[in-house]
Structure 1
Amino acid sequence: MVQSSVLGFPRIGGQRELKKVTEAYWGGKVSVDDLLAKGKELRAHNWKLQKDAGVDVIPSNDFSFYDQVLDLSLLFNAIPERYTKFNLSPIDVFFAMGRGLQRKATESTAAVDVTALEMVKWFDSNYHYVRPTFSHSTDFKLNTSAGVKPVDEYLEAKALGIETRPVILGPVSYLYLGKADKDSLDLEPISLLEKVLPVYKELLAKLKEAGATEVQIDEPVLVLDLPEAVKSKFQTAYDALVGDNLPQLILTTYFGDVRPNLDAIKSLPVAGFHFDFVRVPEQADEVASILNGKQTLSVGIVDGRNIWKTDFAKATAFVNKVADKVGKDKVIVSTSSSLLHTPVDLDNEKKLDPVIKDWFSFATQKVQEVVTIAKNVSGEDVSEALAANAKSIKSRQESSITTNPKVQERLATVNEALSTRKAPFDERLPAQQAKYNLPLFPTTTIGSFPQTKDIRINRNKFVKGELTAQQYEEFINKEIETVVRFQEEIGLDVLVHGEPERNDMVQYFGEQLDGFAFTTNGWVQSYGSRYVRPPVVVGDVSRPKAMTVKESVYAQSITKKPMKGMLTGPVTCLRWSFPRDDVSQKVQALQLGLALRDEVQDLEAAGITVIQVDEPAIREGLPLRAGKERSDYLNWAAQSFRVATSGVENDTQIHSHFCYSDLDPNHIKALDADVVSIEFSKKDDPNYIQEFSNYPNHIGLGLFDIHSPRIPSKEEFVARIEEILKVYPANKFWVNPDCGLKTRGWEETRASLTNMVDAAKHFRAKN
């Protein structure tokens, strides 16, 4: 019989139970015992769900209260010294590393003030991981202060009568995805392999002792362009991690093409491999050729990154083709990656158009898909499921919902002229300086202000029909006025309206654009307790009417300072949605660019002439390997942005924002935005500043971490700006936070922004 497996399941709960209990713990409303009990409950639910569906290989240790990479750093004692001096409990050390901690002294506890570790995107997904941070003094060892998580959760499942396969991030990926701490910048993290391997070996031995016969060990960096010095480490690592007292290892990779790195793994003494054949089906022949006859091949054929139903006929044919090469007894049918990146359960969607809903498959349904395909390949009778699936696939292919001839006709008009500003930046700049007359070190924010409980309650009332449109508009206008007056009070130079009407920076637009469907419970974890509900691109995209003009015009009408119109860029709208898989992403991005072009021009016509079009996902979408696919992507991604923003006058100032990615200035130079703002507060490598020193347009390097409740002092802002000004010219530098302030409270927002503005005034006085 062909087995079925799942590489990981969403940990958030179908009703966001994890978010609620975690934030309650941070707020002091529940105890640590309550927090841990809810985690145990969620894990049990997920394991039972998979077992009841008939999954043969069920994962454990795929759960985390914040981030699975951070879990490993805590377990392996890769804890920078700044977190160890406050005598915090293990769970509070964990959260401090993830989100920072600032706490006043009490009679029984000392004051705590520590920033978070750097957070970056997990490959080309919208999930953010907490980057491991190493130094010459890192002392790898099993930190058992909170137990041994992979072992404890394996035993937890076993006590429920469920055998699981623990999941662990592999040693090469763990080190390669990490960074050197600011006091050890000469350190290459991969050089620590010999130090960390004994700890991996000890952990694996404990799992074997607990009864685990097999471990899924993830090495996702195998889909990257790896230096030879890193490739050579795989043999070293896995020779050390195989032995009689250790469980067998299934080396797992996903999100891309492993073929350029096959030589690094073809001789490894592992029990099997997993590859992503949704992303790269054409790698099947070559990866099958490295098996030694005893090794299994886990075939990632159910998409762990999107919500479209798997075509059972095509998937079965593919698995059969692979089985013909390696033997049916060596094949496992699996998800392409962890299902962390998909919503939990389609059955929770009660308002979706039933025609469109029939095309979707969320994590719970994908579990069943894996089982059905495995049964079909094994020769079991699943004819009823096959017939229903074929009907759904045909329905989508033939639906008029997916096609709009007018959009396709307009798309054919896109050319270089449509995506080029009327004049280059050095000619636009004088017109903008004359129009806005901004001071040196102009201050602004990224867009959103705190989404208070009152805002959420009133939005929910409006959705339920408990408020009229007029009542809701009056409420929103009061919120806008509060934000505008606050910004004027503290002295910000370019204002925002605060976005109180918006539920999410992509969902809000998806709900107003033709070609999108949206969910009520389709939550996906972005980082920590931050979840998003990605809309779904189901057809050709267009804008039926203005989306943001009313609120922006009202905000501008109550202040004399420049008011930014706030939009989400075409690539980010695409990447933070579930895109179509039946047309190229280039086509979808350009359609979005045209829709946003209409909005930009309407804003300008209404008197909003500072317009920010955010593209934080532009780096995220970059193909993982260098080559033609990457250069093509950079061309069409930049073009879609320019299509959206180039139809304006020279004195209209276009801004854009980028965050939580390893940016290259060349990725944003091609956008030709007048001002860009970049997440920067947790970057501690001075070379990163240097990379932007010759950026031709104006730039704001973000000065405080909005994902942390911590409040930086004025002196901290001053010190940070001083470091930046050593390599970046003062006349091009804007002062702003890392990102939007939606997730923060008003008290910390007021204090942080006040200190930031005071620091800008300090430098104006010096210049």
Structure 2
Amino acid sequence: MTTSIVGYPRIGAKRELKFAIEKFFKKELSESELQEVAKAQRELNWQTQFKAGIDYIPSNDFSFYDTTLDTAFALNIVPERYQALGISPLEKYFAAARGHQSQAGDVKALAMKKWFNTNYHYMVPEFDDGTELKLDLTKLLSEYQEALALGIATKPVLIGPYTLLKLIRFTGKTTIDTVLTDFVAIYSDIFKALAEEKIEWLQLDEPALVFDLTDADITLFKSIYTPLLAGKQTVKVLLQTYFGDVRDIYSELIKLDVDGIGLDFVEGRKTAELVETYGFPTDKKLFAGVVNGKNIWRNNYEKTLDVLAKLPEKPLVISSSCSLQHVPYTVSAETDLSEDILKHFAFAQEKLQELKDINDIYYKRETDSLSVNKALFAQDRFEADATVQAKVAGLTDLDFTRTPEFSDRETIQKDVFNLPVLPTTTIGSFPQTADVRKNRLNFKRGDITKEAYDQFNEAKTKEWIDWQEAVGFDVLVHGEFERNDMVEYFGEKLSGYVFTKYAWVQSYGTRCVKPPIVWGDIARVQQLSVADSFYAQSLTDKPVKGMLTGPVTILNWSFPREDISLSDSTLQIALAIQEEVLDLEKNGIKIIQIDEAALREKLPLRQTDWNSEYLDWAIPAFRLVHAKVAPTTQIHTHMCYSEFTDIIPAIDAMDADVISFEASRSDLSILDALQENGFRTQTGPGVYDIHSPRIPPVEEIEAVIQKILAKVPVEKVWINPDCGLKTRGVAEVKASLENLVTATQEIRKGL
């Protein structure tokens, strides 16, 4: 038993589960039919891992929406507003994930945040004073039995109690301290239930241990696990960590009465050093995460073997560094790419083979796969672009500095644009309806001409420009009907990228993304968006925002290279986007939004590493993009679904003129941080949640605006939804935005 993975993708190789869930939402699929699709996906995943020779195969890593939400429901951490709806358990689950609006009731969804330093999003469990912990292991046990019926004994996976307590949002008087004993008791009940089912292993995921831990954090962890493990009965416990190292608690972890500890040797900068310094006990299995679960490049076996050589040989399990849900299913689906390219990639299924290869080399001294791997890494993968590299090397401090100062620009722009108080706008995209997607697909297949394709998109743009004017928006957007994705679209027009056909990765719920792959040096070889923005602006006298994705987000939402630094790769992208910004400005686009939705995504989890390893180059990369524009050009940016409150000074230092934030699901908690830090940038906290299908009433939006104005000066406030609208339906978008404008106009009357 020497190979393991932390988790596996669950959306389906061709997004089968995604499409089935969306049909269920539309009442085109019954609950029983949805369950059959889910069961087929689970069985395929288990059989794939079993055939690949993986020994410790996870179960309960499957989810209809989010595994953190699954754990919350298993423990009855479900707010009363969902319990009271009187709908089926699965519909109640989806109500917590997406919100619900029907005769049964009108409730908002739970908050949604980034899952540590990934592009995956989790639902934030909410614990109110009426919450009573109750155990329901129906899902976990039934999925274990499903796998067992296939002849596969799995290790069920749950979010560990320490991480779960750290993720929970307590909404009343209840605190971690007041529920601690109950948490230990209910996890003890989990051990008992699994022992009764004769389940051998339980994996408890504790990624929160890789943060900077205080003495209080360590005390909390010990106060949970010391009594909990005293009653674990016959169940073997794997305490699994990932996304970094556990330097603050390693010496305590190895003393615990657990049977295995999973450590990340990819992102864990000090993991190898910790094992070498403090050792590893012989009565536990070390699950060594040496195969990268977050990137798609082939593993360099020689480097991995060097890491393993310094570890205690037994008992050692070769594992993925984290769940493989952060990479696509299989390279074999990419029939449009050449073998010369594909041989450098390993998606989830190929990583299973890598684990087996490394295991065989390490334990059985098998050499054939090692020789093939050495030959792969001995060859040059691409031809470097000397011009791009020279541009990056030649950058100076002046290239990152915009003039004049922010306050001077703000005065100039107020005169130039003459916008009303509380200017209204949207984030960028409008619904990508079936006809929009069909038009793009027909053009891609060659079924229609470029002229016909463009004419369709222009008609859509005009339709929505006219609608925005009629409703009364102050700053318009063109709708982005030509764009498949906010990163892939731009990558297709840059050199140095490779694109896949089926390499989908779950972002949240049924939302999937297909990150492009940074193959080589990046350069702009054609205009990216100028023609579309110019056309949209020609239709109206109101300003239309030019819409771009920022360099940090393009890098973070791509699969990056591993042969150069993230900093250098991002600066290459920034120079390319800078050229586009200046071209937009030359063509009369006076407001340019450069989205940095994923600014925080690769921010180190340890605050002590923020500046030296990330912010010191990520923030300047954004400034590089817009540093050369005129003071009369207004630069916007947008950020969403992350914790930004602790990096507000860095965000202000981006030197944008306007920043819009996702804020609705977090109850505008970011406003306090803006106020405390004297945030100078104009801001648009999202006034309603676009990821929920519910339509916010006018009165609700008015209340949100009043809450914003209580903490942000009125002259600094913009009114907008909290994210782009491409995934929503036309009817709900129009109704919601009409309510947004009406609410804003009502508030203006009272100012």
Alignment of 1:709-728 (within 5 A): 709-728=693-712
Tell me the SS of whatever aligns to 1:208: helix
Q: Retained in 2: the 8 A contact 1:171–1:193?
A: no
Deviations 1:22-81 (A, max 9, x none): 000001000000111111110000000000011111111110000000001111000011
**Aligned equivalents of 1:690, 1:484: Cα separation in 2:** 35
> Any stretches of 5+ residues in structure 1 without a counterpart?
106-110
What pairs up with 1:307-322 in 2 under 5 angstroms?
Answer: 307-322=296-311
Shift of 1:190: 5.8
Distance 2:638 2:174 in 1: 31
User: Does residue 1:666 correspond to 2:649, yes or no?
Assistant: yes
Deviation of 1:390 after TM superposition, in Å, equals 2.0
Which of residues 527, 530, 551 is equivalent to 1:546? Answer: 527
SS at match of 2:156: strand
Whether the 8 Å CA contact 1:223–1:258 is kept in 2: the answer is yes
1:108 corresponds to? none
Residue-by-residue CA offset, 1:197-217 (whole Å, 9 max, x unaligned)? 211121222122222111111
Counterparts of residues 332-731 of structure 1 (less than 5 Å): 332-381=317-366, 383-395=367-379, 398-401=380-383, 403-664=384-645, 665-684=648-667, 688-693=670-675, 694-731=678-715
Q: Distance in 1 between matches of 2:628 and 2:36?
A: 55
Share of identical aligned residues, percent?
43
Counterparts in 2 of 1:315 and 1:79: CA distance versus 1, 3 Å:
same
Offset of residue 392 of structure 1: 2.1
Of stretches 657-666 and 352-361 in structure 1, the one that deviates more from structure 2 is 352-361
AA partner of residue 300 (structure 2): D
**Residue-by-residue CA offset, 1:136-161 (whole Å, 9 max, x unaligned):** 3321111x3xx621111111100110
C-alpha distance after superposition, 1:529-586 (max 9, x if no partner): 0000000111111110111001000000111110000001111000000011111111
* 1:209 alignment partner in structure 2: 196
Pick the aligned partner of 1:304 from 293, 300, 307.
293
Q: How does 1:171-186 map to 2 (within 5 A)?
A: 171-181=161-171, 184=172
Q: With structure 1 as the length reference, what TM-score do the two structures score?
A: 0.95
Q: Is the 8 A contact 1:656 1:676 kept in 2?
A: yes
Whether 1:22 and 2:21 are equivalent positions in the alignment is yes
Q: Is the 8 A contact 1:510 1:535 kept in 2?
A: yes
Rounded Cα–Cα distance in structure 2 between residues aligned with 1:189 and 1:743? 37
Does structure 2 conserve the Cα–Cα contact (< 8 Å) formed by 1:252 and 1:275?
Answer: yes
Q: Displacement of 1:191 after TM fit?
A: 4.7
Partner of 2:144: 154
Q: How far apart, CA to CA, are the structure 1 residues paired with 2:228 and 2:237? A: 9
| CA drift at 1:241 | 2.9
Quickly say closer, same or farther: Cα 1:518–1:189, change in 2 above 3 A: farther
1: CA distance, partners of 2:636 / 2:18: 32
Deviation by residue 1:163-213 (Cα, 9 ceiling, x = unmatched)? 1111111000001012122xx1x5444652221221112122212222211
2:181 paired residue among 176, 194, 197 = 194
In the TM superposition, residue 227 of structure 1 has moved relative to its aligned partner by 2.8
Which residue of the partner structure matches residue 250 of structure 1?
A: 238
RMSD of Structure 2 on Structure 1 (CA): 1.4
SS in 2 for 1:216: strand
- Contact 1:172 1:230 (8 Å CA) reproduced: no
- Does residue 229 (structure 1) correspond to residue 220 (structure 2)? The answer is no
Q: Distance in 2 between matches of 1:361 and 1:447?
A: 34
1:71-90 superposed matches below 5 A? 71-90=70-89
Query: What is the alpha-carbon distance in structure 1 between the residues aligned to residue 623 and residue 665 of structure 2?
Result: 29
Q: What secondary structure sits across from 2:249 in the alignment?
A: helix
In structure 2, distance between residues paired with 1:610 and 1:301? 46
Is residue 742 from structure 1 mapped to residue 742 from structure 2 by the alignment?
no
Question: 1:632, CA displacement in angstroms?
Answer: 4.5
- Secondary structure class of the residue paired with 2:310: helix
1:766 aligns to 2:747 (yes or no): no
CA drift at 1:278: 1.0
For residues 211 and 503 of structure 1, the distance between their equivalents in structure 2, rounded to whole angstroms, comes to 48
Matched residue SS, 2:86: coil
Structure 1 residues 224-248: Cα deviation after superposition (integer angstroms, max 9, x where no partner): 0123222112222222333363411
State the match for 2:68 in structure 1.
Answer: 69
Are the aligned partners of 1:127 and 1:341 in contact in 2 as well (CA < 8 Å)? yes
**CA separation in 2, counterparts of 1:662 and 1:264?**
29
- 1:348 aligned partner, one-letter code: A
Whether contact under 8 Å (2:184, 2:227) holds in the other structure is: yes
Residue 691 of structure 1 aligns with an amino acid whose one-letter code is A
Superposed CA deviations along residues 331-350 of structure 1, whole A, max 9, x for unmatched, are 00000000010000100001
Report the Cα distance in structure 1 between the residues aligned to 2:739 and 2:497, rounded to whole angstroms. Answer: 41
TM-score normalised according to structure 2 size: 0.97
> d(CA) in 1 for partners of 2:372 and 2:289?
22
> Aligned AA for 2:656?
A
Matched, 1:269 2:257: yes
- Give the counterpart letter for 2:125 in structure 1: P
Q: Which secondary structure state, in structure 2, belongs to the residue aligned with residue 400 of structure 1?
A: coil
In structure 2, the gaps of 5 or more residues are none
2:280 counterpart of 1:287: no
Deviations 1:731-766 (A, max 9, x none): 110000010001100000000000001111112111
Contact 1:175 1:190 (C-alpha < 8 Å) held by counterparts: no
The Cα offsets for residues 256-276 of structure 1, whole Å up to 9 and x where unpaired, read as 121122244232110121111
Aligned to 2:262, the other structure's residue is in SS state: strand
